[in-house]
Amino acid sequence: MKFGVWFCILSVPFNMSKLFALLDCNNFFVSCERVFNPSLRHKPVVVLSNNDGCVIARSNEAKALGVPMGAPFFKCKELLQRHRVAVYSANFPLYGDLSGRVMQTASEFTPELEIYSIDEAFLHLDNMPEPYEYVKSARETIRRHTGMPVSIGVAATKTLAKAANHIAKKHSTDGIFCLQDQETIDRWLRETPVEGIWGIGYNKGDFLKRQGVLTALQLKEMPDAWIKQNLSIGSLKTVWELRGIPCLESQDNAIDKRAITTSRTFAKEVTSLEELSEPIAAYIANASEKLRSQQSVCGYVQVYLTTNRFKRERYYANAAGIDLTPPTAYTPDLIAIAQKLVKSIYKPGYGYKKAGVVLSNLQPQSTVQDFLFEPTYDSSRRQKLMDIMDHWNNRRNTAKVFLAAEGMGQDWYNEAYKSKRFTTRWDELLEINI
């Protein structure tokens, strides 16, 4: 482990000055809705999670009204109505498309762009002489090309760039902050509670506070051995990053996912095995489409079920999985296996509230060896059938091809406040009346 940390230092040549910019879209989902509906600007807006369950994005005006992040919709509905807050159901096709446009524009400003999440990316700006002017121009270009407001923080490590971004959002007038001179860094560290650091969550923050480590500055000054013994090697990296030593490796964006999950909460409780079969089939179809889009096959499939986790009485949750030999990405086989798995964990007499599937042990389709007795995914007509289905389903504005097992898309979920898919469906284009 020690070697790993030393390697972090040695891998940075001394004459090379590392510099990172963290670009973060402001209130991303809300901003997406505003791009296509400018009348929402300067008004309180929230976006709800799937099934209209929780608040997952808030405009600054909604934050000012005291709408908490993650608040269950039913608990704050009255507050939202009272203040005439605009409410939207999550529209992930729209957000994913806008995210792609923002990242594309950002990538024109750096040879190395690390996409960290749907609304965040690190730009590598090593040895950049005038980072402020540079990211300012990036920010303006993104705004002009996509309509998306972003904040940018610049610093010598990713953890500090994250902090700089936070300062840019809260305190700067132009959405940009460079956290570079040591005096400013230490002043910020002194004023920041330890749980405000990227990588220190609720549990570690709570532990640190009980140990008397209250601020980011105190954390930075704790001995390495203590951090390693009481927290983890990951936390030690965080501490070194606070000291200005880059320890977080680049995430190669080309690396494929290690697992693919699809799950949903149902609008109502589902009781019969037959009713559970359809959403499970639909989740497998969804997950295996993602699997094929990264040219992978999966070697393990898992299915899980759970009743309402907020109800103490009659709670039941279970999962079952199975190794796949040979690994596959063939939807019909995966559905058949998933149906057997769900049957093995289903218990009658319970009202199920959520179900999901996980595809894991992913490997590139090209490396799968031939099996003597079993046809592999790519050695038969199966792959061709999937290719045709994917091709058809990826065309914009065509009816989706799906398997009968997925059902006709009953009203499993709530989404009462959904905006149109302005950028991915011809029949939902924005209409302008002149």
Partner DNA sequence: TCTGGGGTCCTAGGACCC
List the one residue out of 261, 215, 222 whose CA is nearest residue 240: 222
Query: Is 269 one of the binding residues for DNA (CB under 7 A)?
Result: yes
Residue 98 main-chain phi, psi, to 5 deg: -65, -35
List the one residue out of 101, 78, 94 whose CA is nearest residue 34: 94
Q: How many CB atoms are closer than 10 A to CB 167?
A: 19
When binding is defined by CB under 7 A, the residue of 45, 76, 94, 118 that contacts DNA is: 118
Of the pair 262, 331, the CB lying nearest DNA is at 262
Q: Give the CB-side neighbour count of residue 266, counting CA atoms within 13 A.
A: 24
Length of the chain: 434
Question: Which string of x and - marks every residue 19-58 that binds DNA (by CB under 7 A)?
Answer: ------------------------------xxx-xx-x--
Pairs from 393-396 (Cβ < 8 Å, separation ≥ 24): 393/289, 396/424, 396/425, 396/426
Of the pair 115, 185, the CB lying nearest DNA is at 115
When binding is defined by CB under 7 A, the residue of 136, 264, 418, 421 that contacts DNA is: 264
Of the pair 139, 204, the CB lying nearest DNA is at 204
Residue 310 main-chain phi, psi, to 5 deg: -90, -5
Of 30-38, 68-76, 144-152, 418-426: span binding DNA (CB under 7 A): 68-76
Give the dihedral sign, CA 401/403/408/413: negative
Pairing relationship of beta strands 45-48 and 86-89 according to DSSP bridges: parallel
329 with 273: CB under 8 angstroms? no
Question: Minimum distance from CB of 228 to DNA (Å)?
Answer: 8
Query: Is 260 one of the binding residues for DNA (CB under 7 A)?
Result: yes
Query: Is 363 one of the binding residues for DNA (CB under 7 A)?
Result: no
Query: Is 172 one of the binding residues for DNA (CB under 7 A)?
Result: no
Question: Minimum distance from CB of 119 to DNA (Å)?
Answer: 5
102 CB-contact burial (10 Å; exposed 0-12 / middle 13-18 / buried 19+): buried
Query: Is 66 one of the binding residues for DNA (CB under 7 A)?
Result: no
Of 270-278, 342-350, 352-360, 374-382: span binding DNA (CB under 7 A): 352-360
When binding is defined by CB under 7 A, the residue of 13, 15, 16, 70 that contacts DNA is: 70
Query: Is 259 one of the binding residues for DNA (CB under 7 A)?
Result: yes
Mutual angle of helices 158-171 and 182-191, in 10-degree steps: 70
List the one residue out of 170, 156, 128 whose CA is nearest residue 24: 170
Size of the site for DNA (CB under 7 A): 46
Of the pair 86, 298, the CB lying nearest DNA is at 298
Question: Which string of x and - marks every residue 312-351 that binds DNA (by CB under 7 A)?
Answer: ---------x------------------------------
Q: Which residues lie near DNA (CB under 7 A)?
A: 49-51, 53-54, 56, 70, 72-74, 116-120, 162, 197-205, 232-234, 257-265, 268-269, 290, 308, 310, 321, 353-354, 356
